[in-house]
Chain A
């Protein structure tokens, strides 16, 4: 064995060999039978500035506090104690190398050889194993990594750290100012770290929140009587925290002890010249004295403590005399500061605050061993704002992190307060159902509780939760590691659990009282408490990065209300899917059948979008949930106003029932404050998108809504090329569309504004409208911003969802056209008595409509076709010049870009996704099917006729007349019922009066009453499409 050892040692560099020797010596000292990798690891760790130690500190994702390393050391010493002692060793003989260690050494050798390719051909012995390789292979040893895990370190992570520093070739990571460190690199390398933090912490755990927790912790320390001078230990974050605290102090935002306290920044003064430090400190003493004398307090900002230990770094390099002198100065400075504190600190009016990296702090402890006590310091570890280990348990293939995270997860409950909160959320019984506001309050209280707990539990020395559990005990029991007892801690935990549950209950109740709206199922899905987001974070962090949160959140939100499932998205998804109709045909039917058709549309497309990105996540349940929600809606709304609205709308636009109910629902919902929340804060403006080809229906719906909501006619502004100048307000003439809108809003801050043909609007207009939706303010062409007040905006577009396309056909548009032309000519009706006409020829176009349910052969015809043709022509022209590479031709082309833009936007292009997403609701107006309307009109008239005249006579309405009436009803402002009551009924009465004399004659079955167009035109009432009276023309009258 001895011989074997010497051979081995030849393969090691002197450094590595000495480590091995030390390990063997350690094993022999402990009287162990073998030298194991554990011994080597312990040896490597024991040197305070050792390589392994530093790597461990660096690799720890959570903190880099010295105590963490101490925990590691203790773990190793426990592990060593447990090793069997040698039974029959002859004294003086070193314990042999164990098989595991031998294997590790061989691994190291192999790695070393692989590491330097140019030496590959050299004899084995020429390759010496360097210390780093030795460490790496030791870390690979299962026993070592087990022990490290106990101390909440991850050997793969440490290994990765070392390997990274070995490959010190200038990778992008190193050259970029963004120190990726050991944070996960799942985000872009180039990304602003602040965004990264924001992102990684999800929205559930804002970095701001974390920092404010830290700030709070530090302020608590400042308020203590002992150990009240915080030194924030961490890699880069501490400065930020200190800065925040000092600003708070300077602005006098803090109450109690820290009021009227001034801050003196020492750092700037100290860095200049070391030799003058002591005298400066004395000056400082005088300054402090004067300030404290004025009944104030002083916080001395020490800055980074590295100046205390800098000299030691260059030890040996410079000439030792100067170095020693400098050391002397620093020592004196430390002593002087100690004296200052002794002098003023007693009164509690002098504080120190400083920052240090973990390394620096360790050095301070070594070189200025009494400083911690003399300066009354309290180390406060500041966690790097890397993702919290509990949050991403399955981060995936990301080497460093996944391994470190996995090994940490058993301890996550203890690592920091944040994962604890999340793990609580995982527990269904403890779930919070609060609005964000209450959630925040709850979290604050919880944090307070946590702080109390940790301080009471761990005492002042180790006031930090991130320590492993057993270490708390170890500390409490004077470091007697072997008698670790779980029980007191369990009690603590139980107590803690109870407390936090109480707190949660309290806030749940408070929230229920304060924000009842939030607990209604009809709530807008956007008001999401932070926690579900962290849950989705749990699900797949990439998801957060790649897509808008909305659909997932909706799902979550609704799950909670409607299904009461546990909040874990992952597990709830399958069950949800089982309950939902999974196939697309079914969905199509739903879409057709539901009143809120369009609602699912954007989401559907959105879903596709998501699927594109992720390929794995199905948001199938969404539609379903949405349906559930819409079913419940009317119940929870303000029922009266909803009914009133719906009734009013149905009266005027009875053929668009679905649309009317959707409009009424959305309006009521928005008025109740549950509309989509765009941007920050609440808003009064409502945005609706009416799509579909039924121009008349859309307009009428808008008019009816305007009448009901504001008691006035809507303001109509056409964004497209189609101008109905008769309708538009005269004062708008000669203004840009944006200014028109601005003007309208300014004048009528609570009106209904109809913006027609958004799909034809140019980009700028669309952009401003989009911004207006987001911000609640509208900027006109001069950049002046107008608050939108309580305006209801209605955007109209021609676009029809694909699923409804088959309803629309060329014939329908033709119908509309024809009806319009029929109804607009001045026309009158008369009632006549005549013989029955047999075999009345039916108007062919109406006959057509009799079969509306059969899908027609689709050909683009009618209006839209024409437009496209124009567009094509425009494109051709543009293309022609565009193809030319001749610069002069190209130049000419520039003169007509606007024209081209206008023409090339096809009239039926779908509204942009953004638009659909931003409006409060998009409501589809189905293409009008005239046969029911016709039937309705006929029925209404016949019904009136039979109630007034009786069954004696039958009524015949020739198609021509019916068309005119239908057209008049459809286009005009008078409702059908209104018209029958006001116009038809009096005429019928008049007819009845004239009838009795002829009654006997007319009972003949061949006689009928005809309601037919009257060519003897009287004057028609202007401004309406229906005749204001019907002439009764009966022979003999």
Chain B
């Protein structure tokens, strides 16, 4: 197994001509796709990987410089695609990985036939004429909490992000993967994500994008999906689901998986 595959815990499953790359977001790992994957393996070759810095990856490889922008992750994605000699793929990115995929697709549009963005956001911080959902103070508070007691922060953040009570399986699952991250890496990653502003690159994205969004999401206000739709350079389509939370594919798979599958299987009508 090549070093890239090993380092990112790449999993390839299923059979089919078309390749689907599933990329998880902050605080999770590829297990976040567990409800989706069984529905894909019959028809697609499914590639899953862990982003560098996830709890399941070797922290030694986490280069704080490389991952000081989302581009570092985008390069990782491209490296994986090259390593597996994938010529073209459907990319499904959750949360920050939606943007990572978009960035990667700007550099190599040939590798992406379409991008499915689940709960993605180009900018989390409010701005003039832009509602991202967070004020700088909110974020500072968040970072401080992470810094002071990571574990406590995890157990507080997980229910908020998932949108359920502490007892629910999804929340426990998310807090597990969240807490698996090394605290300093988690802080760095969170800072990079929450402070990122990818609005200027959206118009450079030419690959068709399917934007899927929860009705109620602590991290991404519902208007973001419309913003993405308006500003993406290529075709895009928005579907807002009646689901709750930032990790809908984990918390309410019954409603969400069919939607995701539909967007994977069908293209935007011309």
Chain A: minimal CB distance from B213 (Å): 19
- Give B14-59 interface residues, CB cut-off 8 Å to A: 34, 37-39, 41-42, 52
A584: Cβ under 8 A from any B Cβ: no
Cβ contacts under 8 Å, A192 to chain B: 4, 7, 52, 61, 63, 66, 72, 75-76, 79
B226 within 8 A of A: no
Which single member of A188, A193, A894, A900 contacts B63 (CB below 8 Å)? Answer: A193
| A887-B7 contact, Cβ under 8 Å, with A188-B83, A193-B66, A897-B38 | no
User: Which of A198, A891, A904 is B258 in contact with, Cβ under 8 Å?
Assistant: A891
1/0 per residue, CB under 8 A from B, across A161-201: the answer is: 00000000000000011100000000011111111001100
- Chain A residues positioned under 8 Å from B200 (CB to CB): none
Complex-state Cα separation, A762 to B265, whole angstroms:
22
Instruction: Report B-chain residues with C-beta under 8 Å of the C-beta of A891.
Output: 258, 262
Interface string of B65-82 (1 = CB under 8 A from A): 110000110011111001
B66 touches A177 (CB 8 A): yes
Bound: A284/B261 CA distance, A: 64
Starting from the known contacts A188-B4, A195-B3, 16 additional A-B residue pairs (CB-CB under 8 Å) come to A188-B82, A190-B77, A191-B4, A191-B79, A192-B7, A192-B76, A192-B79, A195-B4, A195-B7, A547-B1, A764-B34, A885-B266, A890-B262, A898-B38, A901-B41, A904-B42
- Interface: A548 (CB within 8 A): yes
Q: A877 vs B36: C-alpha distance in the bound complex, in angstroms?
A: 21
In the complex, what residue of chain A is closest to B41 when comparing beta carbons?
Answer: A763
A985 within 8 A of B: no
Instruction: Evaluate contact between B63 and A548: CB separation under 8 angstroms.
Output: no
User: Distance (Å) between the CB of B121 and the closest chain A CB?
Assistant: 23
| Complex Cα–Cα for A178 and B1 (A) | 23
A-side contacts of B75, CB under 8 Å: 176, 178, 190-192
Closest to B176 in A: A783
Most buried by A among B13, B61, B65, B75: B75
A399 to B37, CA, bound (A): 43
- A546 CB–B CB distance under 8 Å: yes
By a CB distance below 8 angstroms, the chain B residues around A189 are 78-79
Known: A178-B75, A190-B82, A193-B63. A545 touches B42 (CB 8 A): no
Residues of A within 8 A of B257 (CB): 894
- Nearest-neighbor residue (CB-CB) of A176 within chain B: B75
Q: Which residue of B lies closest to A781 (CB)?
A: B169
Question: Bound complex: CA of A897 vs CA of B257, how far in Å?
Answer: 11
Q: Hey, which chain A residues are within 8 Å of B37, CB to CB?
A: 763
- Tell me, yes or no, whether A735 is within 8 Å of chain B by CB: no
Q: B50 to nearest A CB, angstroms?
A: 13
Q: What is the CB-to-nearest-CB distance from A599 to chain B, in angstroms, rounded to a whole number?
A: 20
Q: For A199, list chain B residues within 8 Å (CB).
A: 2-3
> Are A890 and B42 in contact, CB atoms less than 8 angstroms apart?
no
Q: Which residue of A lies closest to B66 (CB)?
A: A192
Q: Is B137 engaged at the interface, CB distance under 8 Å to the other chain?
A: no
Closest Cβ of chain A to B67, distance in Å, is 9
Are the C-beta atoms of B38 and A764 separated by less than 8 Å?
Answer: yes
In Å, the complex CA distance between A764 and B11 comes to 13
Q: Are B61 and A887 in contact (CB under 8 A)?
A: no
Q: How many residue pairs, one in A and one in B, have C-beta atoms under 8 Å apart?
A: 90
Chain B proximity of A22: nearest CB distance (Å)? 42
The 0/1 profile, CB within 8 Å of B marked 1, for residues 80-123 of chain A is: 00000000000000000000000000000000000000000000
Set of chain A residues within 8 Å of B1, measured between Cβ atoms? 547-548
| B141, CB-defined interface residue at 8 Å | no
9 contacts between A and B (CB under 8 A): A191-B4, A192-B52, A193-B63, A195-B3, A547-B1, A763-B38, A890-B265, A901-B38, A901-B42
Interface string of A769-783 (1 = CB under 8 A from B): 000000000000011
Which of B60, B76, B176, B265 has a CB less than 8 Å from the CB of A190? B76
Interface residues of B (CB under 8 A from A): 1-4, 7, 13, 34, 37-39, 41-42, 52, 60-61, 63, 65-66, 71-72, 75-79, 82-83, 169, 172-173, 176, 257-258, 261-262, 265-266
List residues of chain A with CB within 8 A of the CB of B63: 192-194
Which residues of chain A in 865-914 are interfacial with respect to chain B, using CB atoms and an 8 Å cutoff? Answer: 885, 887, 890-891, 894, 897-898, 900-901, 904
In the complex, the answer to whether A887 meets B266 with C-beta atoms within 8 Å is yes
Contacts of A885 in B (CB 8 A): 266
A541: min CB distance to chain B, Å: 12
Check if A894 sits within 8 Å of B79, measured CB to CB.
no
State A177–B72 Cα separation when bound (angstroms). Answer: 8
Given contacts A177-B71, A891-B258, A900-B42, contact A783 B172 (CB under 8 A): yes
> How far is the CB of A586 from the nearest CB of chain B, in Å?
30
Given A190-B75, A190-B76, answer yes or no on A545-B2 (Cβ-Cβ < 8 Å). yes
A762–B13 CA distance with the chains assembled, in angstroms: 12
Alpha-carbon distance between A887 and B77 when the two chains are bound, in angstroms: 32
- A987–B13 Cα distance when bound, in Å, is 60
Which B residues touch A190, using CB under 8 A? Answer: 75-79, 82
Q: Which residues of B contact A782 (CB under 8 A)?
A: 169, 172
CB-CB < 8 A to B65: which residues of A?
177
| Closest chain B CB from A669 CB (angstroms) | 24
**Nearest-Cβ distance from residue B124 to partner chain A, whole angstroms:** 23
How far does the Cβ of A760 sit from chain B's closest Cβ, in whole Å? 14
Would A897 and B39 count as touching, CB distance under 8 A? yes
Report the Cα distance A199→B37, complex, angstroms.
Answer: 30
Write out the residue numbers on chain B whose beta carbons fall within 8 Å of the beta carbon of A545: 2-3
How far is A176 from B75 in the complex, measured between Cα atoms in Å? 9
In the complex, which residues of chain B have a beta carbon less than 8 angstroms from the beta carbon of A887?
262, 266
CA distance in complex: A548, B41 (Å)? 24
| A547 vs B5: C-alpha distance when bound (angstroms) | 10
Instruction: Please name all residues of chain B whose beta carbon is closer than 8 Å to the beta carbon of A763 when the two chains form the complex.
Output: 13, 37-38, 41
Which residues on B sit within 8 Å (CB–CB) of A783?
Answer: 169, 172-173, 176
User: Which of A194, A762, A887: most chain B Cβ within 10 A?
Assistant: A194
Measured in the bound complex, the distance between the Cα atoms of B66 and A207 in whole Å is: 18
Q: A192-B79, A195-B7 are in contact. Are A546 and B262 (CB under 8 A)?
A: no
Residues of A within 8 A of B265 (CB): 890
How far, in whole Å, are A548 and B34 apart by their CA atoms in the complex? Answer: 26
Q: Which residues of B contact A897 (CB under 8 A)?
A: 38-39
Q: How far is the CA of A194 from the CA of B57 in the complex (A)?
A: 13
Interface centre among A192, A783, A885, A901 (most CB of B within 10 A): A192
CA of A763 to CA of B37, assembled, Å: 9
Query: In the complex, A198 Cα to B38 Cα: how many Å?
Result: 34
**Chain A residues, CB < 8 A from B172:** 782-783
Query: From A782, which residue of chain B is reached at the shortest CB distance?
Result: B169
Docked CA distance A783–B262 (Å)? 29
CB closest chain-A residue, reference B46: A763
User: Which residue of B66, B79, B82, B266 has the most chain A CB atoms within 10 A of its CB atom?
Assistant: B79
Chain A residues with CB under 8 Å of B41's CB are 763, 901
The distance from the CB of B159 to the nearest CB of chain A, in whole angstroms, is 16
Q: How far is the CB of A310 from chain B (nearest CB, A)?
A: 22
In the complex, what residues of B have CB within 8 A of residue A890's CB?
262, 265-266
Q: With a CB–CB cut-off of 8 A, which chain B residues contact A178?
A: 66, 75
10 tightest Cβ-Cβ pairs between the two chains A and B: A190-B79, A190-B78, A190-B75, A199-B3, A894-B258, A191-B79, A188-B79, A188-B82, A548-B1, A194-B61
Residue of A nearest to B13 (CB): A763
For A208, the closest partner residue in chain B by CB is: B60
Cα–Cα, bound, A898→B262 (Å): 17
Complex CA distance for A178 and B39, rounded to whole angstroms: 38
A900, closest chain B residue (CB): B42
Give Cα A942–Cα B258 distance, bound, in whole angstroms. Answer: 67
Q: Which residues from chain B contact A547 at a C-beta distance below 8 Å?
A: 1-2
Residue in B3, B82, B261 with the greatest tally of chain A CB atoms within 10 Å: B3
Tell me the complex Cα distance, A547–B6, Å: 11
**A766 nearest CB neighbor, chain B only:** B13
- How many angstroms between the C-alpha atoms of A194 and B61 in the bound complex? 6
CA distance A208 to B169 in the complex (A): 39
Q: Tell me which residues across on chain B come within 8 A of A904, comparing CB atoms.
A: 42
Question: A209 to B3, alpha carbons, bound, how many Å?
Answer: 18
Chain A residues with Cβ below 8 Å from B173 are: 783
Chain A residues with Cβ below 8 Å from B3 are: 195, 198-199, 545
